[in-house]
Structure 1
Amino acid sequence: MAAVRFGTDGIRGIAGESLTDSIAYALGRALAAHFPGGTILIGRDTRPSGAGLSAALAAGANAAGAHAIDLGVIPTPGLAAVVAGEPTASCGVVVTASHNPVEYNGLKVLGRDGRKVADVVERELEAAIDAELARGVETASDQVRGASSTVEGESYRARYTAQLAATAAVAAPDSAAAALRVLVDAANGAGAPFAVAALAATGANVEGMALGDGVINDAVGATSPEALGARVLASGVDLGIALDGDADRCAVVDERGQLVDGDVVIALIALDRKARGLPHSDQVVATILTNSGIERQLAAAGIRLKRTPVGDRHIAEALAGKREGFGGEKSGHLLFPEHAPTGDGLISAIEVIALCARAKRPLSQLAAALPLDPQVQRVIHVEEGEAETLLADPRFTQVVREVEALLGAGGGRILVRPSGTEPLLRVMAEGPDAAAVASAAERLLGAAASLLSRRS
């Protein structure tokens, strides 16, 4: 078996193949040793493989002397909030592959504060898992059956429900949202049991779709907002919200059924917070992918954009220690430290609903006031490790330098990186000239494809 490695969002792979019950069991044992003396809380999304992986994880932790509690289906931010608020918790694990297709699953480890653990902790856990697997750890059936029941999770899930209601009461304290009609797409994922009630707590009239009657992320949710857009347009609601599989982010659709760019959502919230004079509203934290056009418009309003590497964990780290502030990334991860320690798709949706209620204007009009620089984002599917090899190839790095210099001379920029969650090479090009941006992206993609084909 190949060595187990954490990516951008935990350990991830195809369930039963590159991600097995044995790996989950070994992680449970590793966590019991690394976080001794406390309770390990486990949650999951709705994938069929989730229950077995959760049971194996709990069995490993319990066999090594820990007390593991399986909360059942709960969003990643829900488990994060419960871990952060539970005095006996030592850590948490979410069994989820987020936005990936149903055949994938993952193991995302959260520290005592509810945030993803640091890189150094992940490296230590990797070594411990590899050592356990090398010793031939197996998930014996009697050990798996000894895993804790999900019954213990009911009270913990109720805590998260109460937190969402309290957030709605703070974000939308008056009755302005009562005039709004909202459609939420829960992606048949972890947010399905919570979504409608959470958003309705704002006072809005909320309808739901993909509430657990289908396959997670299958032509629904934040990765497929077209389904939501069509329903929004047909039903005449004011806006649509699409969660991803573990409900830690959301996509926003306007009243015309059009997807609102994630960077525009970030800017709308940042400008709204600045207008209301909220603490730390003179700065917003976003990633290197955030559109430069947004950066200029925020600067004109007196708001500094602080950039981080890609990944909501880096945004959370930049906001750590602040009780106020705001950050987000284009993919829909939005962080509000006053509400939660991590990004939460439902809390983000509550804030968007409250913003629209205050604005008293169609969302399409609000978004149109924030034009973006032309930007192209593309991916190439690669084999495991190929992206890193390509990025170290002098022939490819030479092309990258040439394209970077050419586009940069006109005020543009590029970004080429491996995906942290899937076997993909990601290419981004951006600048004021749409034709130049498209040409830059095509040249990078062509060079990558050519070099990869020679290796096969």
Structure 2
Amino acid sequence: MTPVRFGTDGIRGVAGETITEELAAALGRALGSRYPGGTILIGRDTRESGERLSAALAAGVTAGGASPVDVGVIPTSGLAIITARDASIARAVAVTASHNPAEYNGLKVIARNGRKIPDDEERALEGEIERLLRDGAAAAMPRTTGDVAQANTAGAADASEFRQRYVAILAEAASDVAARGPVKLRAVVDAAHGAGAPYALDALTLTGAEVIPFAMGDGAINDAVGATAPAALAHEVLRKSADLGIALDGDADRCVAVDGSGTVVDGDVLIALIALDRRARGLAGSDRVVATVLTNSGVERALAAAGIRLVRTPVGDRHIAEALDGASEGFGGEKSGHLLFAERAPTGDGLLSAIELIALIARSGRSLATLASEIPLDPQIQVAVRVPQGGAERLLADPALTAAIRAATPALEASGGRLLVRASGTEPLLRVMAEGPDAELVRRAVDAVTAAAEALLRGR
């Protein structure tokens, strides 16, 4: 049996292989046993495997002694926001693989505070899930829609009510924008055929902007659309003569922007623009911004010039959320499009981020392209090397790769640059990032490290 392990964003893999109905049922039963009599909220994105996995999960929750409420398709962040605002919810589970391709799925457990569960709870759940799978208890549980509907005592009405809470939160944020004055923006919104599709058009229209829907659920999730493939959105922005394009990922917790010329705006630039706007408005906590080790050094310089301190965390929105923990107001984000507004939500939400971006552009009276041009970034290159499962950690421990990293680092650092090599937390990838003022040195460093990694992979 393959060991069960929670990664950066829960348990993730190919549906039907790593992520099975038996696994979902075992997780449900483990949660039900830990929180007997409690409510376990379940939501999902639009993957074909999602409904079956949700049904298995709900059956397991019931068998464990808790009450599942399956709210259906909802952004992971929507599930987190609802959970954080309702003390009756013991835990929530998002059935999603976020930005990964359609054949993937995953199980992400959300704590009462709307954030990732503690590491010690993950370890305990791993052990309990493995025990249930070994004993065959998960396979024996009912998983059909009918079985789950019978077990789910909360019923469809409660599930709908939970969804409406999220809709109301989006509506409140969007209406705040509209109340400040007319929003003369034409925006294309790409929902990646994902969890944001049922919510995006209505929510963003409430800002007063003219919203043009794109990839709203009539295709495969993340298939050449969305935050990880913004070229389709860029084309649509040009075709529709729009001022702005906004792309969500599969579970709608991130937001990527395209300007009116069809240029994808670097996520680090968005962090800087939002941070500077918040500082100019004198918002509480706006003298500090949280970002990750991947955030471009150009952002740090731009923020420092405005009296804003950049606090860096490891990669992953969970680390940004932890650094903002306890703040009633505050902002943080990462290059990939996760943007966190502490006063709005405990985690990043793509639609709330889109609303904030529309508001910023409307307030400025300038185009996104003009705003973005004022944030100069250092040349930065990121490369992902595909490896076997667990291979990234083995490569990082290999003396040959360590030597390549050591050899590439001094010249880069002497020029004011830096090199970062790490294992991906969600996919079997070794990620290499280099940046600095000298583009040629940046390229050489990345090429040297990736060549060493690929040579090691060929030799195995």
TM-score, with length taken from structure 2: 0.97
* Distance in 2 of aligned mates of 1:118 and 1:452: 34
Q: Check the 8 A contact 1:44/1:96 in 2, yes or no.
A: yes
Shift of 1:87: 2.8
Does the C-alpha gap of structure 1 residues 316 and 172 become closer, same or farther in structure 2, counting only changes over 3 Å? Answer: farther
Match of 1:291 among 296, 319, 331: 296
Stretches of structure 1 that go unaligned for 5 or more consecutive residues are none
Q: Check the 8 A contact 2:421/2:433 in 1, yes or no.
A: yes
Aligned to 2:333: 328
Q: Check the 8 A contact 2:83/2:112 in 1, yes or no.
A: yes
Q: Check the 8 A contact 1:39/1:90 in 2, yes or no.
A: yes
State the identity as a percent. 61
Q: Check the 8 A contact 1:188/1:212 in 2, yes or no.
A: yes
Does the C-alpha gap of structure 1 residues 101 and 143 become closer, same or farther in structure 2, counting only changes over 3 Å? Answer: closer
Aligned to 1:136: 136
Shift of 1:33: 2.4
* Distance in 1 of aligned mates of 2:402 and 2:156: 51
CA displacement 1:371-406 (0-9 Å, x = unmatched): 100000001110011110010011211111121222
**1:157 to 2:163 alignment:** yes
Residues paired across the two proteins, number:
454
* Distance in 2 of aligned mates of 1:190 and 1:151: 20
Q: Check the 8 A contact 1:91/1:110 in 2, yes or no.
A: yes
Shift of 1:233: 0.9
Match of 1:385 among 367, 390, 408: 390
Letter of the 2:181 counterpart: S
Q: Check the 8 A contact 2:284/2:330 in 1, yes or no.
A: yes
Does the C-alpha gap of structure 1 residues 55 and 151 become closer, same or farther in structure 2, counting only changes over 3 Å? Answer: farther
Stretches of structure 2 that go unaligned for 5 or more consecutive residues are none
* Distance in 2 of aligned mates of 1:173 and 1:5: 47
* Distance in 2 of aligned mates of 1:239 and 1:444: 37
Shift of 1:123: 1.3
Q: Secondary structure at the match of 2:323?
A: helix
Structure 2 matches for 1:232-247, cutoff 5 A?
Answer: 232-247=237-252
Shift of 1:232: 0.3
Match of 1:342 among 347, 353, 372: 347
Q: Secondary structure at the match of 1:216?
A: coil
Q: Check the 8 A contact 1:267/1:294 in 2, yes or no.
A: yes
Shift of 1:118: 1.8
* Distance in 1 of aligned mates of 2:404 and 2:240: 48
Q: Secondary structure at the match of 2:457?
A: helix
Letter of the 1:158 counterpart: Q
CA RMSD of aligned residues (A): 1.2
Aligned to 1:173: 179
Q: Secondary structure at the match of 2:179?
A: coil
Aligned to 1:39: 39
Structure 2 matches for 1:45-64, cutoff 5 A?
Answer: 45-64=45-64
Q: Check the 8 A contact 1:176/1:358 in 2, yes or no.
A: no
Shift of 1:86: 2.1
Letter of the 2:405 counterpart: V
* Distance in 2 of aligned mates of 1:373 and 1:173: 38
More divergent stretch after superposition (390-399 vs 329-338): 390-399
CA displacement 1:300-334 (0-9 Å, x = unmatched): 11010000000000000000111101000000000
Aligned to 2:74: 74
Shift of 1:167: 1.4
CA displacement 1:135-194 (0-9 Å, x = unmatched): 1223346454422365541111111000101112334531232x1111100000000000
Aligned to 1:446: 451
Structure 2 matches for 1:39-438, cutoff 5 A?
Answer: 39-140=39-140, 142-144=142-144, 145-147=146-148, 148=152, 150=156, 152-177=158-183, 179-438=184-443
Q: Secondary structure at the match of 1:194?
A: helix
More divergent stretch after superposition (157-166 vs 116-125): 116-125
* Distance in 2 of aligned mates of 1:171 and 1:399: 51
Q: Secondary structure at the match of 1:128?
A: helix
More divergent stretch after superposition (339-348 vs 391-400): 391-400
Q: Secondary structure at the match of 2:434?
A: strand
CA displacement 1:11-55 (0-9 Å, x = unmatched): 001000111011101100111223333100000000000000000
CA displacement 1:331-352 (0-9 Å, x = unmatched): 0000001111110000000000
* Distance in 1 of aligned mates of 2:109 and 2:138: 21
Q: Check the 8 A contact 2:23/2:129 in 1, yes or no.
A: yes
* Distance in 2 of aligned mates of 1:231 and 1:152: 38
Q: Check the 8 A contact 2:25/2:60 in 1, yes or no.
A: yes
Letter of the 1:250 counterpart: C
* Distance in 2 of aligned mates of 1:153 and 1:418: 38
Q: Check the 8 A contact 2:60/2:141 in 1, yes or no.
A: no
CA displacement 1:186-230 (0-9 Å, x = unmatched): 000000000011111111111101111111000111011000100
* Distance in 1 of aligned mates of 2:32 and 2:453: 43
Q: Check the 8 A contact 2:36/2:64 in 1, yes or no.
A: no
Does the C-alpha gap of structure 1 residues 318 and 141 become closer, same or farther in structure 2, counting only changes over 3 Å? Answer: closer
* Distance in 2 of aligned mates of 1:141 and 1:277: 55
* Distance in 2 of aligned mates of 1:203 and 1:442: 47
Letter of the 1:99 counterpart: H
